[in-house]
Structure formats: C-alpha cells, structure tokens
Structure 1
Amino acid sequence: MDFKNMKRTFNQGQYGKRTSIKRVTQHVLMNSHQSSAVFNIVNSIIGSAIIGLPFSIKQAGLPLGILLLFWVAYVTDFSLILLIKGGVLSGTHSYQALVRKTFGFPGYLLLSLLQFLYPFIAMTSYNIIIGDTLGKVLKRIPGVDPGNFFIGLHFIIGVATVLFSLPLSLYHDIAKLGKVSLISAVLTAMILIFVIIRAFTLGPYITRTEDAWVFAKPNAVQAVGVMSFAFICHHNSFLVYGSLKEPTVAKWSRVIHIAVMISALISVLFATTGYLTFTGLTQGDLFENYCKNDDLINFGRFFFGITVILSYPIECFVTREVVANVFFHGNLSKRYHAIVTTVIITMATALSMIVDCLGIVLDLSGVLCAAPLIFIIPSACYLKLSEERWIHPDKIMSTVTLLNGVVVMVVGFVMTILYPDDCSHGQEMAYCLSTNASFFNNSFSSFEPTIQSTFFNTSTVQ
C-alpha cells in the first residue's frame, strides 16, 4: 500500500488544496462552534413560551395564526442578522453598545432596562413552571401524599435552583451550554411527539367549538405578542455570535437560518396539533388542558420541566451581561461573576416564590419588551447606520418591520389591558372531572377509539 499517495490524496482531496491535519481539526472545531450556536439559539426560542403557542392560534384563528407564526419566524431571522450587521457597521460587540453608539446614552439605558427585564421575567416564569410542572408529576407517584411539603412548589424551585440552575449559570462561556441545549432540543422533540399522539387519541373525544375553523379573530395582534415572546432571542444574540470561532456575518447568517428554520417547524407543529386537540378550549398553558391522571402527558410535563431548567442559564447569562456592562464597565472578576450571578438568581427565585401566576405579566412582557427587542430596535439601528439607498431591500424590510413592531406594541398593549388572560392555574377541565379516572390510561393508550367514546361525547363541555 502506497502511504505517500494516501497522504497526498487526503491532503488534496476534501479541501481542494494541500492542507494539514491541524487545519482539518480547526475546520471541525469551527463547525462544532456553529453547531453549539445553533442549539443555543433553538433552545432560547423554544423555551417555556412554546406551551403558549396553541393559545396564540386560538387568539388569531387557525389559518391566520399559522401565517403569523411563519411571519414572526421570518422577521426573527431577518432581525437577528440585521442586529449583527448593525454591530459590524458600528464596530460594537454587544446589543447595548450598538444602541449606545446609535442613539446615545438615553437609548442605551432604555435598551438595558428592556434587555434585563425580559430575561429576568423569563427566569421567574421558568421557576414557577418548574415547580408547578414537576410537582404535578411527583403527585402521580403511588403512595405520595399530594400535600407533602417535599413535592410543593417552593421546595421544588429551591432544589432545582441549587442543584441545576445556579451551577449551570456560573459558566463563563455560553458555548459550553451547547450540549445542554442539544439535550433540551431532544426533550422538546419528545414533548412534541406526545402532543401529536394526544391529538389523535384525545382530540376525537373533545367537542369542537363553533369558532374552531374561523380564518381570523380580533385578538390576532395580541397573538403576535405571544409569538414574539416565544421567538425572541435577540437579547443573547451577541453572546452567541461571540461564541463562534472567527465570527463573521456569513457564518452568523448560516447559524440563524438553520436555527430559526428548526424552531419554526417545531413551533408550528406544536401550535397546530395542540390547538386542533382542544380548539376553543385551549388555555394559555397547554399542559393545563390535559388531565392530571394522563400519564403520557405527565412524561411530557417531566421532560418540559427538565427543558426549562436547561433553558434557564441562557437567560441568566444575558441579565448578568447587562449588569456587568452598566455597573462594571463590561468586566467581572471571578469573584464578582459569582456574586452577581448568585444575586440575580436569588432575586428571581424569591419573586417566583411570591408570585403564583404571571399570565398578564408575561403578556405585557411580550408586547412591551419582546416587540421592541425583535421588531423596533434592530430595524431602527440599521436604518440609522446603513448608508444604503432607501430602495435597498434591507432598508425596505427594516422599515416594514419597524412599523409592524409599533403596531404590535401599541395595539397588543391595549388588547392585553382590555382582554387580560384569566389565570386558571391548576384547575381541571370539565372533561377530566369523572369518577373513571383510570379511563385515560386505558382507552387513550392506542390510536383507535373505543366503545367508551360515547362517555366523552356526553360529558365534554359543549
């Protein structure tokens, strides 16, 4: 065997010119950095807010809701790339620095407030979801007293914070969360499978509401606020961009196209299958629609709780960066890194212990924080910094995106105040209130309806 020819073939084959094993290794590492960035973006998008997407379809109407989801995904893709382009044009390396360079100190303070509030509220809601979701799962364990302190909301939040949220949030490099984000993405795919199964096995037993197939509904703009809350990841975009090896706009564009495409596919499937199962009965938290004794969904609840735990550190990274930039000139020593992280997590944990339901707070966060961070600010920065003519496609799209953001922010705020979501936290739906509690785990375990379906057709809320 001619080893010299083999070496020459390897050196000249895949890369078109002579290269070394070291260069190939660097190429693989570069791709691994991009993969980590993709999973971090996907994890940031399909976090806890994904369970509210079926409700946004209910608000907007099924056909219009699907179209709006794709529109928000497209705008997210466009604005994430636009944000980094703005950073390149201004020579800045953070969202805060970009806005300060573009709109001065007042803009910097406003952006810092928004960029802190959104992930901080997300961290608080994550804690509540972790405690509530895992608590319901633990209550299904045979012999466990439902009133046991060790399966209560506060105890679960405390344990999850100490054992998982705090240690993961103490990382310095967000790229190290790539594997964690991959696990979260796999668990989300499993949850989606469970929701699809229940669309076939539970959906036929739930009576369709009269407005189930309406094309559009008056709360469509409010639905965009919910979708924006789900898709926002702009507050951590510069952190993820900086984790790339030799970051460029071209590499970032590839990462964003792949990440948003994956997220949009998962989001649309989750939203449509969840809504088609319950139609007009769909709640803001889809898991509240399923019965407590549905063990397949309890596996989904468990996976979702783990997913939220794994999504938590990404939001903490952002809040810590904002504090570091505003109060420490962007640099934190190891000591202050640990202190700031601990203080932020302690504040979020304390708030989640006090507040039981964040429905209207999350809605307002969607229209007042997410809409500016996604639609308005990236577009405004690019429009001011770019020297392209106004007829340039990027400038036209930026103008359209900015105007859309203003509409979503103003109209969404008014609709949220006039029609706030009621908090039906922990209430069983009427179709779950039956003495035949074991019926779920028997007759719904297959795809074929059983002769007991007449029971549900008579007991379902009309």
Structure 2
Amino acid sequence: MAKNSRNKDDSISLKYTTFGLKSSKEDIYTEDEMNAPLLSDNSRNEGILVIDESSDNAYLEDVEIARMPHHGGSVFSSFLNMANSIIGAGLPYSFREAGIWSGIILLIGLTMVVDWTIRLLVLNAKLSGRSSYQDIMQFCFGKSGMVAISLFQFAFAFGALYRDISKLAKASGLALISMVIIVVSVVIEGPQVDQSLRGSENGKWAFIHDEVFQSIGVISFAFVCHHNSLLIFDALHKPTIDRFATVTHLSTFVSLVSCMLMALCGYLIFTNKTEGDNVIINIARFCFGFNMFTTLPLELFVCREVINNYYFPNEQFNVLRHVIITTLLVGGAMIISLLTDNLGTVLELTGGFSATALAYILPPACYLKLSSGKLWTLNKLPAILCVIFGILVMVLSTMLSIANIIDGWITPDN
C-alpha cells in the first residue's frame, strides 16, 4: 500500500534500533515504513507517493513513470562501489604512526564505528525526508549546516562523466580485483625480500607510538565513504534500510580484511623501504594506479553534487556545465597531486579534518537533532560519545598535522 512519508513528524526519533538508539514514540513508525525507500528530490517537491518494497517498482520518480526493475543497481553492484570507495592507501603508514597493536585495535574499532554511522546517516535521511547528506545537514542546522557539509565533502572528495553512480559498478569491480592483486603481491613477495631492503626493527612491535591521533586521521581517510553513501543507497534498485545494511556490513568487512592484510604486511616487512625491480610488485604498482583511475570518478560524484546543490540548486541538468565542472575538478586534482610529494601529510590532514567530521561528528549530531525527548538519555549516549570522540580527534589530528608541516618547513630534511 502506498504511504506518504510527509505526514510523519520530522522531529520524531526512529523505532529502528542501532547501537541502542531507539525511539521514545515507538508507535510512530512501523517496520514496513522503515523498509520503504526514501523519497527522491522530485517526489518531495511534487508530492509523489512511496510504494511498498514488495512492488516491482522501487519508487515513483514522477506522476506517470515508475522506476522500472532494470533501473538501479543490485546489492552486489552497490557493494562493489562502496568497497571501492573504502579500500585505499596509507594503512601501513598508519600502523607505523600508531604502533602495531594500537593500529590493529584502531582499525577494527573504527571499522565498527564507520559501519554504524553509515547506516545512521540513512536513518537520518529517513527521519528528515531528505535524500542527500547536504539536505540532511541543511534540514537540521540551516544554512550553516549546508556550508559546513559542503566544505567537508569537497575537501575530502576533491580530486567520470557518468550521471548514474550504479554504472560505475563494473569499474569498481575491476578496481577491487586490482586491490586483491596488490594485497596478494605484498603478502607473497614481502617475506622473500632481502634483509637489507627491510625496515628497521626498532620500535616495530611497540604497543603505541606518539603519532596515534594522526593515525586515526589516516585510517578514517581510508574508511570514510559517507560522502557518497547516500548516492550508493539511492542507486539501489530497491533502496531500503535492510538492503543497504547488507551492503554496508559486507563492504566494511571485506575492506577490514583487505586493509588489515595490507597494513600488517606492509608495516612489518617494508616500512618505508621498497624494491624497484620486482616483477610482481611492479604489477601491483600498476594495479594501484588503475585503482586510483577507477576511484576518482566515484569521488567526483560528490564534488559535482556539492557544486550543483550550492550554486545551481533549482536548475535542470546541463551537459556543458556537467563537462566543464568535471574537467575543472579532474584538472585541479591533477595539478595539486603533481605539486605534492608527501602522501602521508595529505592523508593526515584531509583525514583528520574532513573525514572525522563526515564519519564521527555529523551523522550522530544530525540524529541527536532529529530525535525527540531529552538529550542526556541512555539511548542517545552512543551518539553523544561519538560526537565527542570525533571532535577530539579532528582538533588534535589537524593541529598535530599542521604542526608537523610547519616543522618540516622550518627544519627541512637534508
């Protein structure tokens, strides 16, 4: 049966529970309503009804035309896009900064938090009746929220001409195959390298190092995909919370296993040393470059959305504008990358500043704003603690990264 979610009070908390988050008005939302797809932008503006998930159509995009079964991606294709967005560089570097045991604990713990906040973001979208991260922030915090999320999203995703993100599934699949080749190459070749090519043993097995907060920023940079999670959600053929939870759990688990293998092998064996003439490792380097080639279009979806929503909110799609924006974004990212020779600093600063806000601060803050009842309750405690953790990490990681940059300028290495 069709349901109009606009009849619901936007300030009501959800009945759906996540890490103990529960509504104080449990009779407001039924389980069927929680499984109904989100409203698209057009359906909100034109009053289109949302139909039940059991129908062949996911939801209505305009008055006459329903979204047909062949439109939208499957759970598997969405998993490919999300996993491709998550799995990235810098994990061995983060273990070197944090220490081997602290790195393992942080990687597992932050994976669990990211998995939770991704799903919490979709719950916030259901609560507010909005379909993008920017719209949720504007609904909760007004113009200042819109400006803040635009800044964080653009800073994180900066640097495809596809209009439908689900069409990137094949490229993401190839990227994941490339990442598998990279991991296997490091695992196989790592133990065989000559002792002279291995890093120093000093401090290798330390529990914690003094750059642990910068390490959190690097891990967050690798795992944060909140900026395009709602795009992936909306690209599902039947975008419901249960189906998206499956995508999220599968993506974060596969990413955790891959990143853990890469981080452990890379840190324990190579540290800051590499071998230049190994055939398998050269193949892995090619695969890493190919992975960057396929990941950039996924990130550009977010940058384009920020620009279009901020500067052209009410205008129809324009091919020329689309091409110009994409070309400028790709060119700008390329110029910055050519001028940067320290990837670790980029990962620390970008991850510490924007990734922590996108993953640990804004999703639970929106939930606290949207939910009803008193703030200091047991059900809201996980969200409150997550916001505090995110603010602490963002401030310390950003300040320490900037201090290291300034110190490098003052006392450059010879």
Correspondence list, 1:104-183, <5 A: 104-120=142-158, 123=159, 169-183=160-174
- The answer (yes or no) to whether the contact 1:199–1:276 under 8 Å persists in 2 is no
- Going from structure 1 to structure 2, the CA distance change for 1:194 and 1:318 (only over 3 Å counts) comes to same
Alignment partner of 1:264 is 2:248: no
Q: Among 327, 331, 338, which residue is 1:346 paired with?
A: 331
Give the aligned partner of residue 30 of structure 2: none
- The answer (yes or no) to whether the contact 1:36–1:178 under 8 Å persists in 2 is yes
Cα displacement (A) at 1:363 = 1.8
Correspondence list, 1:11-30, <5 A: none
**Identity, % of aligned pairs?**
35
Give the aligned partner of residue 192 of structure 1: 183
Letter of the 1:315 partner, please give it.
E
- The answer (yes or no) to whether the contact 2:72–2:166 under 8 Å persists in 1 is no
The number of residue pairs the alignment matches comes to 343
Q: Write the distance in 2 (CA, Å) between the matches of 1:228 and 1:113.
A: 17
- The answer (yes or no) to whether the contact 1:195–1:273 under 8 Å persists in 2 is yes
Q: Write the distance in 2 (CA, Å) between the matches of 1:336 and 1:190.
A: 38
Cα displacement (A) at 1:254 = 1.1
Alignment partner of 1:103 is 2:95: no
Cα displacement (A) at 1:208 = 4.6
Cα displacement (A) at 1:198 = 2.3
Cα displacement (A) at 1:235 = 0.7
Give the aligned partner of residue 80 of structure 1: 118
Give the aligned partner of residue 318 of structure 1: 302
Give the aligned partner of residue 203 of structure 2: 211
Q: Greater helix share, 1 or 2?
A: 1
Q: Among 67, 82, 87, which residue is 1:41 paired with?
A: 82
Q: Write the distance in 2 (CA, Å) between the matches of 1:266 and 1:79.
A: 21
Per-residue CA shift, 1:332-376, capped at 9, x if unaligned? Answer: 223322222222223223333444445434321111111101100
Per-residue CA shift, 1:127-185, capped at 9, x if unaligned? Answer: xxxxxxxxxxxxxxxxxxxxxxxxxxxxxxxxxxxxxxxxxx01110000001101100
Alignment partner of 1:274 is 2:266: yes
Q: Show structure 1 runs of 5+ residues with no match.
A: 1-21, 124-168, 284-288, 428-462
User: What is the RMSD computed on CA atoms of the aligned residues?
Assistant: 2.6
Give the aligned partner of residue 408 of structure 1: 393
Q: Write the distance in 2 (CA, Å) between the matches of 1:360 and 1:63.
A: 22
Cα displacement (A) at 1:204 = 5.4
Q: Write the distance in 2 (CA, Å) between the matches of 1:44 and 1:269.
A: 18
- The answer (yes or no) to whether the contact 1:87–1:94 under 8 Å persists in 2 is yes
Give the aligned partner of residue 329 of structure 1: 313
- The answer (yes or no) to whether the contact 1:359–1:422 under 8 Å persists in 2 is no
- The answer (yes or no) to whether the contact 1:53–1:226 under 8 Å persists in 2 is yes
Cα displacement (A) at 1:389 = 6.4
Give the aligned partner of residue 18 of structure 1: none
Per-residue CA shift, 1:363-411, capped at 9, x if unaligned? Answer: 2111111110110011100111123666877622211211111111111
Q: Write the distance in 2 (CA, Å) between the matches of 1:250 and 1:388.
A: 26
Q: Which has the larger radius of gyration?
A: 1
What TM-score, normalized by structure 1, do the two folds share? 0.69
Give the aligned partner of residue 63 of structure 1: 101
- The answer (yes or no) to whether the contact 1:39–1:182 under 8 Å persists in 2 is yes
Structure showing greater relative contact order (alpha-carbon pairs closer than 8 Å, 6 or more residues apart): 1
Give the aligned partner of residue 53 of structure 1: 91
Alignment partner of 1:371 is 2:412: no
- The answer (yes or no) to whether the contact 2:78–2:236 under 8 Å persists in 1 is yes
Give the aligned partner of residue 398 of structure 1: 383
Letter of the 2:248 partner, please give it.
I
Q: Among 275, 279, 282, which residue is 1:291 paired with?
A: 275
- The answer (yes or no) to whether the contact 1:59–1:220 under 8 Å persists in 2 is yes
Per-residue CA shift, 1:300-329, capped at 9, x if unaligned? Answer: 101111111011100111101111101111
Q: Write the distance in 2 (CA, Å) between the matches of 1:293 and 1:366.
A: 32
Alignment partner of 1:226 is 2:267: no
Cα displacement (A) at 1:31 = 10
Q: Show structure 2 runs of 5+ residues with no match.
A: 1-55, 58-66
Per-residue CA shift, 1:51-91, capped at 9, x if unaligned? Answer: x1111111111111101001111111000001111111000
Give the aligned partner of residue 384 of structure 1: 369
Stretch of structure 1 that moved more, 329-338 or 107-116: 329-338
Secondary structure of the equivalent of 2:317?
coil
Letter of the 1:173 partner, please give it.
D
Stretch of structure 1 that moved more, 84-93 or 345-354: 345-354
- The answer (yes or no) to whether the contact 1:290–1:297 under 8 Å persists in 2 is no
Cα displacement (A) at 1:106 = 0.9
- The answer (yes or no) to whether the contact 1:53–1:267 under 8 Å persists in 2 is yes
- The answer (yes or no) to whether the contact 1:388–1:395 under 8 Å persists in 2 is no
Letter of the 1:194 partner, please give it.
S
Letter of the 1:44 partner, please give it.
S
- The answer (yes or no) to whether the contact 1:203–1:277 under 8 Å persists in 2 is no
Stretch of structure 1 that moved more, 26-35 or 82-91: 26-35
